[in-house]
Amino acid sequence: MKRLLKYLSKYKAECVLAPLFKMLEATFELFVPLVMAAIIDRGIATGDLSYIGKMCLLLVLLAVIGLISAVTAQYFAAKAAVGFATNLRHAVFKHIQGLSYSELDSIGSSTLITRMTSDINQAQSGVNMTLRLFLRSPFIVFGAMIMAFTVNAKEALIFAATIPALSVVVFGIMVITMPMYKKVQSGLDGILNRTTENLEGARVIRAFRKEKEETEHFNEETDSLADMQRLVGRISGLMNPVTFIIVNAATIALLYTGAFQVDKAVITQGELVALVNYMSQILVELVKLANLIITISKALACANRVADVLDIKTGLLDGTAPLPEKKPGIPAVEFSHACLIYGKSTNSEALSDISFKAMPGETIGIIGGTGAGKSSIVNLIPRFYDVSSGTVRVNGADVKSCRMADLRSKIGVVPQKAVLFHGSIAENLRWGNEGASIDELNAALKAAQAYEFVTEKSGGLDFVISEGGKNLSGGQRQRLTIARALVRQPEILILDDSSSALDFATDAALRQAVSSLKNKMTVFIVSQRTSSIMHADKIIVVDNGRITGTGTHEELLKSDVIYREIYESQFKGNQKDE
């Protein structure tokens, strides 16, 4: 939690004022039993109605001032807690955006979502409750004990024995429950991960009739989480009854011994009532403190989980040099003995000794079997991943030394999974270029073979896309993501198997339109279709993370067995039919 306190730095005044006003409220509350004792001993005992009336007005005044102090304290505490959560959430989100794909893959999206939402909300509640009660409750407890000593030192010894016993119970339960709450939050990560997988894979689950099995798996995880929550709930639930037992036992002892003191005229009836009221105040505050300890236990466990995310050091450090402009004769992209290892937990290379050059304006086709490493190669160009050894250069400069903003501004990427965001078509396209005009948007749509279906939509460019593009077909989503990349007018265009949902005619028209654009881009086409890359200036064949062949379509048919097998599996049947 200490690591996160810096996000409260903007609310130093609120962090001081909230406890101060709570202490002010508590101070007035501690005077109430003394006023009650005075009413009993001086007002009721003598029948002085005027004195009773004055004391009652004083009680009302103490209540009003206490209420104003409590409301003011709540305002400052809420302002600080909400501001803290806002700053922390911004910091976590910004930190996540700076992590490489490797770190994101190892952490997992479900746990990041939990820590951004549930964990930070728990930390916010912890800050709020701490500012309100962390000083107030102990102040009331020890203040009541001190006030009891001013009333009668002998009877106050009961208070001195009760408070340590209560402290053992409260802090003992806190020590036991804190690690358990952390396990509960981890279990919530698993539930969220299972839910996300089932929602995203609903069609696959139904197609294979796995609803029953997935329901059973989900029930097992939820039952396990529920059992853990019940256990920690039972332990936490002991706090209130145990504290009640101790305080009520102390109250019984106080009344028993106090009765003898009153009978001997050592103390007055009013003073005994005041002592009982102070014991009641201690009971109420300890119940509050018990609930506060539970909340703080949850908050600390959750805050540590959030801090763990912030402590992750990304290996993707931004460069300082500007990206050079492209020049004739200098490769737009050059790989030199590049290797890639995914994550820190494995030593096996996903890519080994990748070397090739792509000159400005060239079209490079990358082909290979599933899992061969095609996408891994192109993901090294915009630094989604960093090479473990070797070099990747753009316009002659090592990508690690260049500013990522400069590098990525020159690159348009169309990933394998077509991702669109909720909003209009125009808003989605302008992710590529915020200042793009309508003419530029239409030109990109035409090149991506998307203009016709966009104009048929109600509103055209203003047609609202649902989250994830669920109200569009797979081919329409792919064409819009291609158009989004083209709006940027990049120097390097990466099409990572982005035409898999397109028919052969549309795919061919798309490639023709891209090649005829005015700005001669260096284009990388990743595909499992030989028809998509056979007209490329250079084709790279990848197998098991290594390049097995480089050349044109005709050259590879003669020299590369893997390429020839892929080609024949896709075209040989058609040739026989012909």
CATH label of the domain that carries residue 32 = 1.20.1560.10
Number of C-beta neighbours around residue 477 at 10 A: 22
The answer to whether position 351 is within a domain reads: no
Between CA 149 and CA 548 the distance in angstroms is 89
Question: Residue 17's domain spans which residues?
Answer: 2-310
Between CA 31 and CA 53 the distance in angstroms is 17
Number of domains the chain contains: 1
Q: Which amino acid is at 36?
A: M
Between CA 241 and CA 261 the distance in angstroms is 30
The answer to whether position 278 is within a domain reads: yes
Helix (H) or strand (E) holding 140: helix 136-151
Pure H helices in 98-131: 101-107, 109-114, 120-129
Confidence of residue 578 (pLDDT cuts 50, 70, 90): very low
Q: pLDDT, tens digit, for every residue of 122-154? A: 899 989 988 888 888 888 888 888 887 877 777
Task: Please report the pLDDT score of residue 343 as a whole number.
Answer: 67
pTM: 0.70
The answer to whether position 42 is within a domain reads: yes
Task: Please report the pLDDT score of residue 572 as a whole number.
Answer: 67
The answer to whether position 183 is within a domain reads: yes
Residue written as token pair 């990427």: 413
- Average pLDDT for 164-182: 79
Task: Please report the pLDDT score of residue 577 as a whole number.
Answer: 40
The answer to whether position 544 is within a domain reads: no
Q: Which residue from 15, 2, 273 is spatially nearest to 155, judged by alpha carbons? A: 273
Task: Please report the pLDDT score of residue 1 as a whole number.
Answer: 63
Per the prediction, the chain carries an average pLDDT of 85
Q: Is 327 left (phi over 0), alpha (psi -120 to 50) or beta?
A: beta
- Average pLDDT for 303-317: 84
Residue length of the chain: 578
The answer to whether position 389 is within a domain reads: no
Q: pLDDT, tens digit, for every residue of 233-287? A: 888 788 778 878 887 888 888 888 888 877 777 788 888 888 888 877 877 787 7
Q: pLDDT, tens digit, for every residue of 516-544? A: 776 788 999 998 888 888 888 999 999 98
The answer to whether position 324 is within a domain reads: no
- Average pLDDT for 58-63: 90
The answer to whether position 427 is within a domain reads: no
